[in-house]
Chains A and B, each alone.
Chain A
């Protein structure tokens, strides 16, 4: 009677496929580090660009990207909500793609371009998405907010790049910015204060302005 079942499978395959691609890429960069530091101590020198600025750090290999930002660079706008990749409060952009900074080690980001909430805008010169969150009151306690904003900025780029989501109906048509797409794609960012309704309005406004 209906096709959702079949479509489910193809979506899932697609997700698996894209996840596999990511895994291969990360493994490659990881093994590069393992060979270059195999006999060395438990720390690694890493250099990357954070919010446009070149940064060099000598880090314990166990240091997550999140703790590198917060504890070593004192960029505390990126939040630690769970340290398990379950809440999204630590979302940052790595080479333009959103990533849970708690689920990835700093040493895996050698040479990359990291953007945190501090890199999007400042008080007095807010990024449009930051301004839209203020306008629509898309936050309360503010602790998930940097993650929501970073995630939403990258999420709109994913739609623009025609990457499908679980709720995309027609995989052959261009992906659309709908409330359902926004909600699905933002569901990795938990807001316990429950600002979702306002957040979706903020993102929709920015998406409309962009279109």
Chain B
């Protein structure tokens, strides 16, 4: 199905199942420990053996030699596969750093060997016996130091401009110019990367933890030098990803190579301390923002420049992209620059670009509002735009940022915010409120599905879509149930298997809208097949409801269409240029109240509210969970999350969950989420848009702005730890 004209009324609009509060259909499996994740597959016919990774102890250089004799002779050891032994392997399309193979070291903890033994304990002990002689080289690890060497990236749109920023800024009545920094961040999902690989002749099956089944399948085949058709990927449950499982990772490559060498199925999990330096991270940024405005608050000039680093061949963090679209202003420019750093690969983490970009932009907007003597909510509303500010002939498909801000301000009690920073004190607590806009683009990615109706009236959906906690199982079941007029418990959903039609996968907050649109397309075909089988003439005039198919007075049980054989239909959604003619984005507003301890500078989050305008909400329960989870991650970004770089040795020092501090229960209050009632017919037949990343964009800035409102201390260097506040706090006796 090609989606190239705005959606008309369709069966999804009935809203009998889609849009309803349906509990997760995989909930009973997940809450009882019966959901089977990558490392947990058991086959009573074949006993697995264990692979343990060895990582590089240097950040840059090459391996002179490796001595694996002690490891090979250790108890229980079956095989040792080394990077220099196996030689260069072809790198997959989506990776920047190679995952394994050869003698070149590109970053700390890059995989250089896997040791296979009968038991986990034996493999781990033997891995510690591998001796490596390195030729270490000097690398660049410090973004601040490398900033001046940054270049304009060759790909993407590193520069954008409209009007004449320099002239408009020069003559602006009120000017603002500040620089902000965001640190490297880690996805830190709860399930570490893990794979089990089993060869059957030249065919390989890998149970793994992947957000994008087909990308992994393609890149694993490339790396191993085998035909993609010979690779079978299974990933039905994923213990979180946030972007870290978008691209093939070392555990899958090591498991496959180790299983080939050991001639046994091999399981490999990355130990937690490998996650930060072996895999990818969100790159640190330095961002300069300049805003010029009239005294009445209208922005006349806005500029956003960003610097980040990555390995050679990598890309920048596109932290400026929201600034091209979020606020009005005739004169504007953005620039993205990339430095070469020899840290581990920088890549997508939840809301790449907008998440760090909004961390900076939304503080700048707060600062500018104050400079203008404007309320920060009003300042944002004054500068709303309904068109792409760079191309005013191009409207937004649907945009109600103003509604998000107004609704939020009213519900949060924004009028009670102290106009004077540091003006509200409750005992030892300095109390403040902050606001930020939320913004994230809506991306459209083709997605396929297969649906089958059997004689019991059960509808089975098969797609290689993944559920990384987003609720894919449930919203896909809701979509099929709505389309075929059956309750959700008559729908079976099978995901994460490369034998199923290729889907959008999970990333960029496109998975919910696009994968259900693919299921919609397949269900339209199945409806046609049912109509034909039951002798109805015009499928468009049929009603599928209550397990029946109806046209006028004639009604037939749905299951009867499959009475002699199951009916199967397959299709995929493909998108035309509606995202070119119209800017498709999602909007929201974050409100935060903090207390800052006047003596210690400790920040506590007291209240949080998000208001989101993101098209049709397919399931208010799972959508709320996506947003509160994102708000929680935003609190981490504001207050504690920072991968600390050892700029001499070139690695992230705090590479575990004790030292890389993500929020815990005690850090998070009750969270409120409001969804504006809207639908966007430009996005897909589902009229839904993404929500999972929107919930993160702006949160950290809302926290930062609340801290400023509480204390009068403006911190422009994330995370806002107490050491950055304490010198600015009032004297206490």
Q: Which residues of A contact B (CB under 8 A)?
A: 2, 60, 62-63, 67, 70-71, 74-84, 86-87, 89, 116-118, 120-124, 126, 130-131, 133-135, 137, 139-146, 149, 179, 182-184, 186-201
Contact = CB atoms under 8 A, between A and B. Distances in A.
B39 A80 contact: yes
Interface hub of A182, A186, A187, A201 (most chain B Cβ within 10 A): A187
B666 A141 contact: no
Contact of B272 (A77, A81, A131, A200): A81
Contacts of B656: 82, 84, 86
B665 A192 contact: no
Contacts of B26: 142
A76 to B, nearest CB: 4
B238 A141 contact: yes
A77 B33 contact: yes
Interface string B712-725: 00000000000000
Chain A residues touching B, majority SS: loop
Interface in B231-288: 237-242, 269, 271-273
Contact of A142 (B35, B187, B626): B35
Contact of A70 (B40, B125, B273, B471): B40
Contacts of A195: 625, 628-629
B644 to A, nearest CB: 17
Given A71-B120, A118-B32, A192 B240 contact: yes
Contacts of A86: 272, 656-658
Interface of B: 23-24, 26-37, 39-40, 42, 119-122, 125, 187-192, 237-242, 269, 271-273, 428, 468-471, 621-622, 624-626, 628-633, 656-658, 662-666, 668-671
Contacts of B241: 141
B662 A190 contact: yes
Contact of A117 (B32, B240, B668): B32
Q: Which 7 A-B pairs have the closest CB atoms?
A: A77-B33, A194-B632, A143-B239, A140-B469, A141-B469, A142-B30, A194-B629
Contacts of A196: 628, 632, 663-665, 668
A10 B625 CA distance: 39
B28 A143 contact: no
Contacts of B190: 79, 81, 87, 89, 141, 143-144, 190-193
Given A126-B32, A190-B190, 14 more contacts: A60-B122, A78-B33, A80-B269, A116-B33, A122-B32, A123-B28, A123-B29, A130-B32, A134-B31, A135-B23, A184-B666, A191-B665, A193-B469, A196-B665
A77 B23 contact: no
Contacts of B34: 77, 118, 122-123
A119 B648 CA distance: 50
A146 B239 CA distance: 12
A81 B39 CA distance: 12
Given A137-B624, A192-B662, A194-B632, A76 B28 contact: no
A139 B24 CA distance: 10
B223 to A, nearest CB: 26
B31 A192 contact: no
Contacts of A137: 23-24, 27, 621-622, 624-625
A121 B470 CA distance: 24
B478 to A, nearest CB: 15
A126 B26 CA distance: 13
A143 B26 CA distance: 12
A176 B664 CA distance: 21
B239 A141 contact: yes
Nearest to B30: A142
Nearest to A182: B665
A140 B37 contact: no
Contacts of A130: 28, 31-32
Contacts of B626: 140
A139 B35 CA distance: 13
Contacts of B663: 194, 196
Nearest to B660: A86
A89 B189 CA distance: 12
A186 B625 contact: no
Given A79-B239, A179-B670, A141 B189 contact: yes
Contacts of A60: 119, 121-122
A32 B42 CA distance: 34
Given A60-B119, A192-B242, A187 B664 contact: yes
A110 B42 CA distance: 26
Contacts of A79: 37, 190-191, 239
B28 A83 contact: no
A141 B625 CA distance: 11
Contacts of B242: 192
Contacts of B31: 117, 126, 130-131, 133-134, 139, 142, 145-146, 149
A185 B622 CA distance: 26
A145 B30 contact: yes
5 contacts: A63-B120, A81-B190, A81-B192, A123-B29, A142-B237
A51 to B, nearest CB: 11
Nearest to A203: B665
B355 to A, nearest CB: 14
A131 B27 CA distance: 9
B272 A194 contact: no
Nearest to B428: A2
A124 B668 contact: no
Contacts of A71: 119-120
B470 A140 contact: yes
Given A194-B632, A198-B625, A87 B657 contact: yes
Contacts of B237: 141-142
Contacts of A81: 190-192, 239, 272, 657
B206 to A, nearest CB: 18
Contacts of A116: 33
B37 A83 contact: no
Contacts of A75: 33
A134 B238 CA distance: 18
Contacts of A182: 665
Nearest to B633: A194
Contact of B121 (A62, A143, A179): A62
B24 A194 contact: no
B668 A194 contact: yes
Interface hub of A78, A133, A140, A191 (most chain B Cβ within 10 A): A140
Nearest to B627: A194
A123 B668 CA distance: 30
Contacts of A192: 187-190, 240, 242, 633, 662
Given A77-B32, A79-B191, A142 B665 contact: no
A189 B664 CA distance: 7
A76 B629 contact: no
A74 B40 CA distance: 8
A141 B35 CA distance: 10
A140 B31 CA distance: 10
A130 B668 CA distance: 22
